[in-house]
């Protein structure tokens, strides 16, 4: 490489390590030429002649550190409409999380009375009036699809509102930050305390704070397991040491994760660990509502004093850094939309307050779409933010989301509450009886999804001349139909022996189960009758 072009090598000054010459400019034949690539789109015609032979690119020293050390966020207290909304969302979401397992829902004597219950032991999922069995797990898949579409909808309509208000990481981080404020005081006091040497006062304060952290974390872990068992019973069992080991392990793990994720990692989870901000970044466009600093209005920044002296020269931003101080993720919103911004809008509250104090219009930082910002900057009248919600994409998302929900509700409404599965014995496939007739054995599973016992009639469809009996009825009771009582909310396993007269060929037939009540729900399942002789 070095000796590829001796002519050039002679004219270009050889570079030595540590030489601090300007690598962007190379002197060749007495003319300075750029070492940077020049796009043909912008270069003047003579640029071709001005360009020199390619050189080794200038060596860029690596940044000394690839790891950016975290600066701890001490966000300042703020009050305003968005903060109050955040309080409300926090209250509602925490109340839902901690309170839901305690809601009761009467399902009669045969089913648990907890409104929301994931009964892993009995493999049932109860949610108010809905009961889901394991084979209906597609409803849960449907719920997850709805959750994903809901996030798309919210993202395309109001940007990262999920991140800013409802995400558990945000809610618990917010909660823990309030604990910080309660124990250590507001921003300045906390910064001071952090910098202070470890003394008795600091130790006591830290111990007190971490105790509160732990209590919240434990309560959070404890609330989680309530969804998987009868809550009052589980609380009693938990404290007398009779709960399942899984309960203690789960509480332990969730206590630990809540303690670390909410107490210490906080915004780092959003910035470094969570995939959702990246996905959302890809989903947003110039029509998405997001928290925006209106730089066309704010720049250039200057203090109130400077602006008074020279009102023409400065924008509305007085560079008071209040927006940075209140930010729970510690970013500067004036640098534009960024992955660290969870759009909690606390900076809007802070900025509006300052603007009111200095007598300038509110909304220097505001919810706006980039498109509207551009319009506004050009002097046009901006639409009110709620109009940004109604556009084809959000409507399409809403329609898809709604139709998935409606389809699931419809499927839930018309689903059958009886079921039948048939598994024929394969060993032996058929049994020759002493009178020459042929017997096949089947294991039937009768499913009763009502929370009351139901009498069900099993009937043979097809297979002329055949009769059946069951393991409990005996051969004397052999007939074309049998009646069984299936316990409430259970599957009854029935052994059915079907016997067909001599000479019957191997053939398909089916079992039909019908509930003997006013609903008369039924289900039919195909089976095969094997014989030694004929084929299909």
Partner 1 sequence: MTNKRIDEPTGTETVGHEWDGIEELDTPMPRWWLWTLYLTIIWGVIYVILYPAWPLVDRATEGVLGWSSRGELAEEMSVVDQARVSMREELSRIPIERLPENSELFTQAVAGGRSAFQVHCSQCHGSGAAGSKTLGYPNLNDDDWLWGGDLKAIEYTLVNGIRAPGVEDTRTSLMPPFAGVFEPAQIDGLVNHVLSLSGKATSSSSGAQLYQDNCSICHGPAGEGDRELGAPRLNDAIWLYGSSREQVREQILNPKMGRMPHWIGRLDPVTIKMLSAYVWSLGGGEEFVEVSENPAVEVDEEP
Of 257 and 522, which has the nearer Cβ to partner 1? 257
Torsion of CA 310, 315, 319, 322, to 10 degrees: 140
Going by C-alpha positions, the residue among 144, 169, 154 that lies closest to residue 90 is 169
Going by C-alpha positions, the residue among 420, 418, 421, 431 that lies closest to residue 497 is 431
Name which of residues 409 to 438 contact partner 1 (CB under 8 A): 425-428, 431-436
Of 137 and 272, which has the nearer Cβ to partner 1? 272
Structural tokens at position 295: 């730089």
**How far is 112 from 524, CA to CA, in rounded Å?**
30
Structural tokens at position 54: 């390619």
* Binding status of residue 44 toward partner 1 by CB under 8 A: no
Using CB under 8 A as the binding criterion, the count of chain residues that bind partner 1 stands at 23
Mode of pairing for the β-strands spanning 481-486 and 454-461:
antiparallel
**How far is 235 from 243, CA to CA, in rounded Å?**
9
Please report how close the Cβ of residue 432 comes to partner 1 at its closest, in angstroms: 6
**How far is 326 from 263, CA to CA, in rounded Å?**
18
Which member of 471, 508, 517, 526 binds partner 1 (CB under 8 A)?
A: 471
H runs (alpha helix) in 387-527: 392-414
Long-range pairs for 19-23: beta carbons < 8 A, 24 or more residues apart: 23/58, 23/59
Please report how close the Cβ of residue 67 comes to partner 1 at its closest, in angstroms: 10
Give the position of tokens 């070095």.
2
Of 29 and 476, which has the nearer Cβ to partner 1? 476
* Binding status of residue 502 toward partner 1 by CB under 8 A: yes
* Binding status of residue 519 toward partner 1 by CB under 8 A: no
Please report how close the Cβ of residue 501 comes to partner 1 at its closest, in angstroms: 12
**How far is 481 from 406, CA to CA, in rounded Å?**
39
Structural tokens at position 105: 């829902």
* Binding status of residue 472 toward partner 1 by CB under 8 A: yes
Of 1 and 41, which has the nearer Cβ to partner 1? 1
Give the position of tokens 């139901």.
454
Give the position of tokens 């009854």.
492
Structural tokens at position 461: 């469809």
**How far is 20 from 30, CA to CA, in rounded Å?**
20
Residue 448's DSSP bridge partners are 418
Site track for partner 1 across 291-320, x = CB under 8 A: ------------------------------
Residue 118's DSSP bridge partners are 125
* Binding status of residue 64 toward partner 1 by CB under 8 A: yes
Please report how close the Cβ of residue 426 comes to partner 1 at its closest, in angstroms: 8
Part in contact with partner 1 (CB under 8 A); list of ranges 454-462, 470-478, 479-487, 507-515: 470-478
Of 355 and 458, which has the nearer Cβ to partner 1? 458
Of 44 and 435, which has the nearer Cβ to partner 1? 435
* Binding status of residue 286 toward partner 1 by CB under 8 A: no
* Binding status of residue 336 toward partner 1 by CB under 8 A: no
Of 45 and 61, which has the nearer Cβ to partner 1? 61
Please report how close the Cβ of residue 425 comes to partner 1 at its closest, in angstroms: 7
Binding site for partner 1 (CB under 8 A): 61-62, 64, 425-428, 431-436, 439, 441, 471-472, 474-476, 495, 497, 502
């Amino acid at each position: 490489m070095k000796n590829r072009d001796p002519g050039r090598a002679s004219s270009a000054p050889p570079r030595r390590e540590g030489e601090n010459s300007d690598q962007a400019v190379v002197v060749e034949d007495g003319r300075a030429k750029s070492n940077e690539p020049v796009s043909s789109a912008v270069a003047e015609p003579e640029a071709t002649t001005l360009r020199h032979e390619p050189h080794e690119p200038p060596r860029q020293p690596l940044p000394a550190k690839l790891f950016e050390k975290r600066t701890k966020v001490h966000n300042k207290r703020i009050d305003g409409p968005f903060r109050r909304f955040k309080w409300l969302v926090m209250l509602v979401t925490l109340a839902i999380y901690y309170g839901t397992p305690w809601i009761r829902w009467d399902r009669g004597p045969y089913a648990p009375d907890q409104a929301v219950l994931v009964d892993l032991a009995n493999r049932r999922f109860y949610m108010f009036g809905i009961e889901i069995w394991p084979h209906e797990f597609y409803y849960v898949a449907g719920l997850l699809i709805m959750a994903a579409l809901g996030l798309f909808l919210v993202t395309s309509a109001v940007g990262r509102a999920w991140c800013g208000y409802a995400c558990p990481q945000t809610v618990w981080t917010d909660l823990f930050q309030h604990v910080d404020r309660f124990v250590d005081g507001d921003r300045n006091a906390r910064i001071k305390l952090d910098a202070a040497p470890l003394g008795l006062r600091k130790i006591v304060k830290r111990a007190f704070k971490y105790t509160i952290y732990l209590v919240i974390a434990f309560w959070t872990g404890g609330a989680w397991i309530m969804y998987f068992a009868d809550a009052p019973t589980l609380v009693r069992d938990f404290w007398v040491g009779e709960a399942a080991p899984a309960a203690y392990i789960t509480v332990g793990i969730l206590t630990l994760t809540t303690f670390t994720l909410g107490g210490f990692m906080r915004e780092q989870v959003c910035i470094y660990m969570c995939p959702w901000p990246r996905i959302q970044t890809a989903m947003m466009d110039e029509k998405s509502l997001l928290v925006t600093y209106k730089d066309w209005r704010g720049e250039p920044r200057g203090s109130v004093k400077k602006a008074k002296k020279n009102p023409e020269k400065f924008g509305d931003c007085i560079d008071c850094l209040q927006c940075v101080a209140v930010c729970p993720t510690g970013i500067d919103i004036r640098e534009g939309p960024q992955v660290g911004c969870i759009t909690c809008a606390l900076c809007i509250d802070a900025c509006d307050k300052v603007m009111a104090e200095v007598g300038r219009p509110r909304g220097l930082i505001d919810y706006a779409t980039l498109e509207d910002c551009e319009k506004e900057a050009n002097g046009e009248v901006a639409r009110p933010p709620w109009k940004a919600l109604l556009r084809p994409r959000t409507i399409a998302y809403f329609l898809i989301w709604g139709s998935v929900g409606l389809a699931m509700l419809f499927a839930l409404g018309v689903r059958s509450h009886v079921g039948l599965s048939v598994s024929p014995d394969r060993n032996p496939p058929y049994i020759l009886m002493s009178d020459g007739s042929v017997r096949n054995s089947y294991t039937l599973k009768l499913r009763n999804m009502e929370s009351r016992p139901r009498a069900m009639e099993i009937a043979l469809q097809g297979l002329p001349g055949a009769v059946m009996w069951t393991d409990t009825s005996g051969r004397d009771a052999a007939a074309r139909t049998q009646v069984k009582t299936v316990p409430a909310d259970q599957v009854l396993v029935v052994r059915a022996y079907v016997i067909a007269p001599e000479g019957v060929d191997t053939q398909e037939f089916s079992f039909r189960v019908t509930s003997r009540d006013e609903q008369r729900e039924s289900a039919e399942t195909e089976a095969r009758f094997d014989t030694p002789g004929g084929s299909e």
